[in-house]
Amino acid sequence: VMPNLSALVARFAKNIPEPFCFSSMQLNLDYNAKLHVDKNNFGPSYIIGLGSYAQGQLWIMHADGDVPMTVHAPLRGYPELRVGDVIYGKLHCIKHRWLKFNGQIPHCAMEFKGHRVSIVYFSRKGSETMDLDGRHFLENLGVALPTMEWLTKVAEEMGARPVVKANQRRRLDFADPGTPVIEDSSDDEVDEDEDMHRLADDEEGSGTGLSATGWARRFHQELHVDWSSTLVELGITMCCAGPAAALALQELLPLRRPKILAMVEDGDTKDSAIRFARQNLRVQCAYKELNEFQ
């Protein structure tokens, strides 16, 4: 925790154009959030982009949208959307401008040129039950913590999440209609939030290996294999990758018939990659420790 920075960001929230409560503040430096759903958020979010940059709008799915976006990974809470679907949304300018939005609707940041810092204010589920010590600490920093009454009120104003109808999406040719999706009722789902994407982006440029994002495409190019018609059989070892491992495996979902012959997830992790692979890919053998692999 950086109390001075947190207090400054909390004070900046007083510029939001309406009384707004929040439990969390997120700063993104030159970061483009991929298409995702903030499933653990409760209530609306406010975002603003600061700096000298061009473009970088926030894309939000909308029934009347005209800007297409391809689904490259399962979106929690939207089982009707599959990898390869093209959905439509609207672009919203956030440069030096406040935007209130529902983070539980699929959204992403568009590419931008220049440098920027975006700040997001939101509340996490369960924040209303925070212990007294935690509440006093954040309140002393100037954080306007939400109450259950406030959260209930704004949640009712937001309404239910939209259902994406068939005429509001189309499927790309490379997508397999049988591609499995992560059901919202499972506790083993991989949380598609900004933290996972940031961890993956942090991996880029560190070391000589492939990064967590885009590796499958580059691997495909190196092997010169037509994955649209060939059964892909892989052996995968994940070493101390944490949630970035599961994110990396999502790169395999656009393939028609990926099959993992053997998989090892070594290190102090929560088996996120193994759980994801069991739900979405055919895993013949999975091991938690390298010494278990024969």
Q: Per residue in 195-226, is it b (16+ CB within 10 Å) or e — as a string? A: ebbebbbebeeeeeebbbbebbeebeeeeeee
List all residues 6 or more positions away from 197 whose beta carbon is below 8 Å from its beta carbon. Answer: 33, 34, 36, 213, 247
pLDDT at 67: 95
Collapsing DSSP to helix, strand or coil, 5 comes out as helix
pLDDT at 84: 87
Q: What percent of the chain has pLDDT over 90?
A: 36
Enter the pTM of the model: 0.60
Collapsing DSSP to helix, strand or coil, 87 comes out as strand
pLDDT at 207: 40
With a cut of 70, list the residues of the chain below it in pLDDT.
1, 160-223, 225-232, 238-248, 250-259, 266-271, 279-282, 289-294
CA 15 → CA 94, 99, 244, distances in Å?
Answer: 14, 12, 35
Could you read off the pLDDT of 121-146 as tens digits, one per residue? Answer: 999 888 888 888 889 999 999 999 99
pLDDT at 205: 38
